[in-house]
């Protein structure tokens, strides 16, 4: 993995090398092993390409970037891993291509020469890259199918800038437009993160997963090149599908263990990460290094489950009990986020990445299993809701609303909290019910939360969640799964892992999101994946021999969450009070009386307002660190 950046400009300035160096340094944490830059002219344009390298495949200096083809007419900067690069390399070699390195970067470069933009259909991997083609006078950029690796860009009439992170773009010039994007702000306040193509800055865009971009003749062209299809179901026996899934899972993990440097795994103690570790052990004779974060709050702590995997596979385990450190959070962790981001599991993700980076350069994770195989609580809620709604519940809606107002529990997965969310969701129109599980502030809340200025900002910036939904899956649980695969997974979970792992110069791979595995999983009938009261049926059965019995027989998913409910009442309370009531920009965006009531209700245990508190808090911290002090 690496950090990439670059520009195309029609301006004439003698300090472009210095600008390119600044852009590279801004993403230096993504690639501490080497830095390379290239400036070149193409007609009336100046092109700059920058690269920071984290050496994983072919760690020799000959594989440094930017890299060029034989006649130096095609140049590439690349962030990613191509897991099938050897097969593609062999084909290209048979076609007469000469290779100077053993890297996957050179394979991508020559694949582009051979296949053009269609090269994307040949790749199995995670990537974000940019290729400048002097023959075609164009820049070609692409992002992997699921969105594991991010890529951002900025365009005005005379300049096109891009980078692995927003921070790579901003150092190019202090004249870059940094106005707040109120559509992005509206998304953030609603769901806690900002989906592609938006960023918090009006003029900076994020290339969407499974898309490519061509910049030619001062025109940006975007195109989607991959989409998962849920419309077909396999007419096979459960046993055949189970065995085929076992084979494909094993192949995906084996494929992603390719590396010229030490490799390990994040181990939460859940079914997904435990399966990945078990399959890794099956495919190597070496001891697997595993890394686990725990909490002193028992209902959040899964270390005892992780230890069952450690025991079964004799892994070399590193554990850490996380306690909140406001200074560490503000000074070290949050600056790597670039944008407002309210999923506080970024904190333990940063710490587990830091632990892993002490002994490995690559870690496999279990991300993706819930989206593919029906692991989330809200999928069960939808199955139950469908049965209840069939029973003509109009007269029950007042009861549903009352049940949604039960006093909360601060224990994770507490039954009363599930009841509150479930019955609150049943009183909503169908198209809004899934949002009950993701929503921080609804439209009614926003009118009381936001300042007049912020309300004016979002007034004409409406949210479009339909873009993440396949209309042919409407009114089915598959709709939620498709929604999560296209929104929640790439825009929250994967972006979090990328930023926090790369902050520690660690590459994270996601074998459960191998695109061939995704395409196969999408054809498995829903009733093989889940039924009322039981999740991930086919996945668990396919991994039965791999999982320790204690994990296979687990009834409740905990997930990788943080006990913010209690932390906001104790260790992080001074931080919240400062930003809510002393930071001099709070009233620019928020109604302070509403914030006071929000916090008081939380402190008095009337409601668990920790999601809403962290949403406001993390926006204000971002505003202070990145925007106000720019």
Instruction: Dump pLDDT digits (tens) for 577-629.
Output: 999 999 999 999 999 999 999 999 999 998 889 999 999 999 999 999 887 65
- pLDDT confidence tier of residue 67, bands split at 50, 70 and 90: very high
CB 229 within 8 A of CB 515: no
CB 6 within 8 A of CB 47: yes
Range scoring the smallest mean pLDDT among 19-33, 151-165, 455-469: 455-469
Query: Nearest Cα to 46, choosing from 134, 109, 112?
Result: 134
Domain 2-224 has CATH 3.60.20.10: yes
Q: Of 2, 5, 24, 508, which one is the catalytic site residue?
A: 2
Q: Which is more confidently placed, 14 or 98? A: 98
Q: Which is more confidently placed, 338 or 1? A: 338
From CA 270, how far away is CA 345, in angstroms rounded?
15
Position 233 scores a pLDDT of 72
- pLDDT confidence tier of residue 393, bands split at 50, 70 and 90: low
CA atoms within 13 A on the CB side of 301: 13
Range scoring the smallest mean pLDDT among 113-122, 393-402, 485-494, 503-512: 393-402
- pLDDT confidence tier of residue 395, bands split at 50, 70 and 90: low
* Residue 2 annotated as catalytic: yes
Position 392 scores a pLDDT of 46
> Tens digits of per-residue pLDDT, 127-137?
999 999 999 99
Check for a shared fold between 2-224 and 238-324+338-373+490-552: no
| The model's pTM | 0.93
DSSP 534: B
The rounded mean pLDDT for the chain is: 90
> Tens digits of per-residue pLDDT, 193-237?
999 999 999 999 999 999 999 999 999 999 999 999 887 676 789
**Cis before 174 (ω within 30):** no
From CA 618, how far away is CA 615, in angstroms rounded?
6
Give the residue extent of every domain in the chain: 2-224, 238-324+338-373+490-552
- pLDDT confidence tier of residue 355, bands split at 50, 70 and 90: very high
Position 235 scores a pLDDT of 74
- pLDDT confidence tier of residue 465, bands split at 50, 70 and 90: confident
Q: Give the CA-trace dihedral at 312, 313, 317, 321, to 10 degrees.
A: -40
Return the CATH class of domain 238-324+338-373+490-552: alpha beta
Q: Which is more confidently placed, 391 or 138? A: 138
pLDDT over 70 at 238, yes or no? yes
Burial of 203 (0-12, 13-18, 19+ CB in 10 A): middle
- pLDDT confidence tier of residue 430, bands split at 50, 70 and 90: low
Position 525 scores a pLDDT of 92
> Tens digits of per-residue pLDDT, 267-280?
999 999 999 999 99
pLDDT over 70 at 344, yes or no? yes
Q: Which is more confidently placed, 542 or 482? A: 542
């Amino acid at each position: 993995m690496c950090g990439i950046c670059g520009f195309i400009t029609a301006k004439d300035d003698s300090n472009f090398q210095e600008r390119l160096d600044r852009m590279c340094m801004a993403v230096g944490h993504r690639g501490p092993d080497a830095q390379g830059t290239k400036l070149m002219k193409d007609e009336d344009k100046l092109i700059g390409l920058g690269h920071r390298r984290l050496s994983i495949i072919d760690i020799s200096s000959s594989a440094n970037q930017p890299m060029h083809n034989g006649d130096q007419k095609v140049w590439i900067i690349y962030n990613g891993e191509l897991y099938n690069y050897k097969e593609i390399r062999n084909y290209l070699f048979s076609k007469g291509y000469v290779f100077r390195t053993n890297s996957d970067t050179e394979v991508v470069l020559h694949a582009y020469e051979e296949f053009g933009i269609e090269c994307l259909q040949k790749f199995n991997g995670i990537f974000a890259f940019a290729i400048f083609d002097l023959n075609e006078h164009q820049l070609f950029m692409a992002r992997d199918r699921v969105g594991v690796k991010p890529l951002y860009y900025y365009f005005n009439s005379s300049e096109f800038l891009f980078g692995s992170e927003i921070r790579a773009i901003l150092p190019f010039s202090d004249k870059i437009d940094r106005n707040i994007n109120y559509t992005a702000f509206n998304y953030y306040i609603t769901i806690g993160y900002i989906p592609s193509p938006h960023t918090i800055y009006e003029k900076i865009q994020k290339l969407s997963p499974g898309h490519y971009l061509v910049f030619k003749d001062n025109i940006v062209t975007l195109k989607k090149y991959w989409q998962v299809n849920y419309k077909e179901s396999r007419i096979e026996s459960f046993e055949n599908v189970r065995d085929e899934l076992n084979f494909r899972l094993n192949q995906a993990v084996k494929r992603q263990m390719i590396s010229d440097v030490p490799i390990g795994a994040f181990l939460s103690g859940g079914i997904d990460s435990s399966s990945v570790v078990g399959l890794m052990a099956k495919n190597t004779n070496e001891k697997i290094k595993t890394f686990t974060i725990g909490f002193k709050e028992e209902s959040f702590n899964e270390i005892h489950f992780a230890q069952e995997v450690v025991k079964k596979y004799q892994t070399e385990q590193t554990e850490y009990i996380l306690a909140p450190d406001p200074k560490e959070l503000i000074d070290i962790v949050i600056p790597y986020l670039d944008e407002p981001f309210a999923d506080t599991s970024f904190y333990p993700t940063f710490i587990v990445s830091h632990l892993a980076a002490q002994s490995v350069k690559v870690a496999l994770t279990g991300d993706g299993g819930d989206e593919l195989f029906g692991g989330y609580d809200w999928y069960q809620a939808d199955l139950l809701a469908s049965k209840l709604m069939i029973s003509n519940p109009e007269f029950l809606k007042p009861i549903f609303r009352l049940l949604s107002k039960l006093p909360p529990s601060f224990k994770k997965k507490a039954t009363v909290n599930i009841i509150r969310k479930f019955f609150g969701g049943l009183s909503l129109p169908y198209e809004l019910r899934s949002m009950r599980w993701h929503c921080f502030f609804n439209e009614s809340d926003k009118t009381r939360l936001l300042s007049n200025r912020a309300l004016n900002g979002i007034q004409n910036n409406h949210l479009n969640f339909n873009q993440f939904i396949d209309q042919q899956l409407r009114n089915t649980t598959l709709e939620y799964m498709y929604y999560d695969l296209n929104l929640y997974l790439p825009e929250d979970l994967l972006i979090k892992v990328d930023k926090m792992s790369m902050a520690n110069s660690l590459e994270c791979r996601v074998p459960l999101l191998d695109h061939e595995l995704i395409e196969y999983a999408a054809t498995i009938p829903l009733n093989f994946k889940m039924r009322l009261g039981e999740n991930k049926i086919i996945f668990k059965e396919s991994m039965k021999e791999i999982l320790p019995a204690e994990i296979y027989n687990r009834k409740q998913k905990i997930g990788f969450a943080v006990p913010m409910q209690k932390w906001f009442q104790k260790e992080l309370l001074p931080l919240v009070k400062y930003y809510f009531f002393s930071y001099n920009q709070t009233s620019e965006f928020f109604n302070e009386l509403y914030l006071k009531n929000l916090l008081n209700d939380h402190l008095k245990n009337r409601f668990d307002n920790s999601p809403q508190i962290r949403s406001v808090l993390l926006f204000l911290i971002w505003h202070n660190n990145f925007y106000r002090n720019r």
